[in-house]
Amino acid sequence: MNLWDKGIKTDLNILAFTVGKDRELDVELSQFDVIGSMAHVSMLASVNLVSDDEKNILIKALLDIFDSISNGNFQIEEGMEDVHSQVEKILTQKLGETGKKIHSARSRNDQVLVDLKLYYREQMVKLAMLSSELINALLENSEKYKNIVIPGYTHLQAAMPSSFGLWFAAYAESLTEDLMFHEGIMEYINQNPLGSAAGYGSSFPINREMTTELLEFSNMHVNSINAQLSRGKTEKFIAAGMGAIAGSLGKMSMDLTLFMSQNFGFLKLKEELTTGSSIMPHKKNPDVLELIRAKSSRINGIYQEVLLLTHNLPSGYHRDFQLLKEILFPAYQELFSCLNMMILALQNLDISQDIINDERYLYIFSVENVNEKVKTGVPFREAYAQVASEIDKGRFRRLEHVSYTHTGSIGNLANNRIAEKLEKVMEKLEVERYAGFTTRFINKLK
């Protein structure tokens, strides 16, 4: 069944090619298609395009479809082009002429747009919640290991004193700032395209404000052409946001992989989280971290893929957009799995306690010796030259006590301020509200 069927038999090869992976991927959209249709039907009744009795009948049938989706019993049949065709077929078979009225005043273009907006909004909530869980795990480790000093590196050369507290908190704040980037993305996603139809509106007296309120969008794409322009632009923003989080994950997994190597020996993954070698009995490989690193790089590549697919298209709908689902839907699942694996890894680390006592790290304290001389009135450049000379002549002796007191240093992590940043981000993303949207929407109609 095709919603555009005019009685002309389309070549089966063309149908198979153009449908692509829609039947498989549209299952992900099925709940949102039904929710969008219920909001649309409610609006149609408010402007007398369906009667109240027809509205109630349609809502009841849509709720039944929603329940079948929730129970895992919904499928898009062979011969159906997409989820929209499947839902309309079920309604028509069950309700006859009444079922055929559901598509009044909308197009598949704004129908799929609203499905995607609701789907992306839910994925944003899941992403924020998982990222928040990882951030809290990082802050917990930061506090737990804040007194363990490790060398900090520049150019992969031991440079200055750092600490596990500082390192864990760095990635907690980095991921929090990645979520700040998502605030703008969420604001863009959370706009109602329904009512824009094929991009040029409708001559029916529809009420777009009503569907905006019912679907709890914070705004609408006002201009009907612009609503269609959001296809591709939405995915480009999302890909950039996913890349930001993946970038932090990839760098963190690279650090951990280095820290695990025998040359560093800063920490170990518990043995049950490592893999072995087919010929080397001693090997305990951090494959999970290496795959997080690799998958994060691949996720960062999808921005370019989305950009190349969409950047040279004129306004209006084009079938090219169909491929965006094939890019983003699996990418979300891959990013979720990376976040889950990193949380698991952080819960299963054995941290070395006395790294800093190794003689090879003696000179990372040279800056402290310079600073002590400066405190006595020696000009910085002269103090620097004096300590450099001591190192060169083998006379350098590190200070017994090193004091860092400024905000964000090894002696004053200020992790409470990072936690406050995270709390504000989660509030702005309205995570708690949108996590409960689907349940709240369905309960209103039952």
CATH, residue 75: 1.10.275.10
236-284 confidence digits (pLDDT tens): 999 999 999 999 999 999 999 999 999 999 999 998 888 877 788 788 8
Give yes or no: residues 175 and 286 share one domain. Answer: yes
CATH number, domain containing residue 126: 1.20.200.10
101-146 confidence digits (pLDDT tens): 999 999 999 999 999 999 999 999 999 999 999 999 999 999 999 9
Please enumerate, as own/partner, the contacts of 296-300 that have beta carbons within 8 Å and a separation of 24 or more.
296/246, 296/247, 296/249, 296/250, 296/253, 296/338, 297/246, 297/250, 298/334, 299/242, 299/243, 299/246, 299/331, 299/334, 299/335, 299/338, 300/243, 300/246, 300/247, 300/250
155 is catalytic: yes
295-321 confidence digits (pLDDT tens): 999 999 999 999 999 988 999 889 889
State the total domains in the chain: 2
SS3 73: coil
Give yes or no: residues 78 and 114 share one domain. Answer: no
Active-site residue, from 155, 282, 311, 401? 155
- 266: containing domain: 108-199+235-357+414-437
Average pLDDT over residues 163-187: 97
Average pLDDT over residues 75-84: 85
In a domain, 195, yes or no: yes
Give yes or no: residues 83 and 125 share one domain. Answer: no
In a domain, 217, yes or no: no
Among 52, 83, 103, the domain-final residue is 103
Mean pLDDT, the chain, rounded, equals 93
Among 86, 103, 120, the domain-final residue is 103
221 is catalytic: no
Query: What pTM, to 2 d.p., does this model score?
Result: 0.92
Among 103, 138, 164, the domain-final residue is 103
Give yes or no: residues 244 and 339 share one domain. Answer: yes
What's the pLDDT at 14? 58
Give yes or no: residues 41 and 167 share one domain. Answer: no
Longest dimension (CA), the chain: 95
Active-site residue, from 51, 218, 261, 277? 277
Give yes or no: residues 126 and 50 share one domain. Answer: no
Residue identified by tokens 């079922």 is 99
